[in-house]
Amino acid sequence: MPWVTEEEIQAAKNMTAYEYLRTHQAQRLQKTRTRNEWQLTDHDSFKINELSGKWHWKSRDIGGVSALRFLIEVDGMKFTDAVKLLCEESPSFIPTQAVEREKLPFKLPERYCNCRRIRAYLNHRGISDEVITYCISHEILYESVPYHNAVFVGKDESRKARYAFLRGIYEKNGKGFKMEQTGSEKKYSFCIPPERETKRVAVYEACIDALAHMTLEEGNRDKYRLSLGGIAAPKENAQIQSERFKKPPDALEEFLKNHSEIKEIEICTDNDFAGRWAKEQMKKHYEGTYQIICNLPKKEGADYADLAKEKKQANKCRDRPLERR
């Protein structure tokens, strides 16, 4: 029967879960929109802070800091196996659950019979009916069951679905459910096609930004509108060492490879540090080959989804009848 010494146990407790994941299983970590926070690709309710090292698995209501507790409670390892792994006596261990998820093929969520709920949600976010209907008609947006998520579909050149981003329509404390469907290929991200031939593609950080900007431009269908599925950017004022931050987005690279007619790239990232950083990297990479148009939201710290919602609220206030005195 395997056993471990007290010294080994203490050594194992010294490593945090974040250190362990970054070193040995970085592919399981996915950045959230919250500063310094990550989540697991195989457990979206699991959150971990890179500064404090604290993690919490909301669906199981358990948490901690150490890698030892993480391996036991989350990955289901036996205590002795976890200790030996962290003491580098069993470096070949790979969580069974993670391996199984990697093998799962891509499959679109089941469709609901209509899109009434997601239409109401997107309307509330300032997206016009015209834009929503256009996307639904191209079969790149629909409502799923059983949770009525808005599903944004990305397709390859043969129009086969290869990517899906799910956005919940119910929000709590300003936050809603968001995730990429298992098996999604980010290089085939969500893209709104134009009505006729065009030489321009506009790029956004998120799907809803593409819909919002199209709404603000009166539903213009004069260009492709491509979501990058997020961007990679360093922390503000950080010393840049990793080349991954300078790598062009996979979605844009794949799109340009398949659309030789494109001559103009309109960059519509968020007007915050990360968005401006991504804009500069894309500009440096593509300038000279394509005409670059930088079109970030005019408001500091905002994205186009913010601006569409603000315009919706402003119009609502303007159209409200004056109260009689």
Strands of 121-160, DSSP E: 141-143, 150-155
Residues 6 or more apart whose CB falls under 8 angstroms from that of 301 comprise 270, 271, 272
Quote the pLDDT of residue 320. 64
Quote the pLDDT of residue 51. 86
Domains parsed from the chain with CATH numbers: 7-88 (3.90.580.10), 115-232+245-317 (3.40.1360.10)
Question: In the sheet where 200-204 sits, what is the strand order?
Answer: 191-192, 224-227, 200-204, 264-267, 291-294
Query: Which has the minimum average pLDDT: 102-106, 109-113, 301-305?
Result: 102-106
What one-letter code names the amino acid at 207? C
pLDDT category of residue 221 using cuts at 50, 70 and 90 = very high
pLDDT category of residue 240 using cuts at 50, 70 and 90 = low
Angle between helices 129-137 and 116-124 (to 10 degrees): 140
- Of 67-81, 279-293, 311-325, the range with the highest mean pLDDT is 279-293
Quote the pLDDT of residue 89. 40
Is residue 226 within 8 Å of 202, Cβ to Cβ?
yes
Quote the pLDDT of residue 13. 82
Quote the pLDDT of residue 52. 86
Average pLDDT of the chain is 86
Quote the pLDDT of residue 20. 82
Angle between helices 207-216 and 129-137 (to 10 degrees): 130
96 pLDDT more than 90: no
Cis amide linkage into residue 146, ω under 30° from 0 = yes
pLDDT category of residue 144 using cuts at 50, 70 and 90 = very high
324 pLDDT more than 60: no
Note the pLDDT tens digit of each residue in 272-301: 998 999 999 999 999 999 999 999 999 999
Whole-prediction pTM: 0.67
307 pLDDT more than 70: yes
pLDDT category of residue 93 using cuts at 50, 70 and 90 = very low
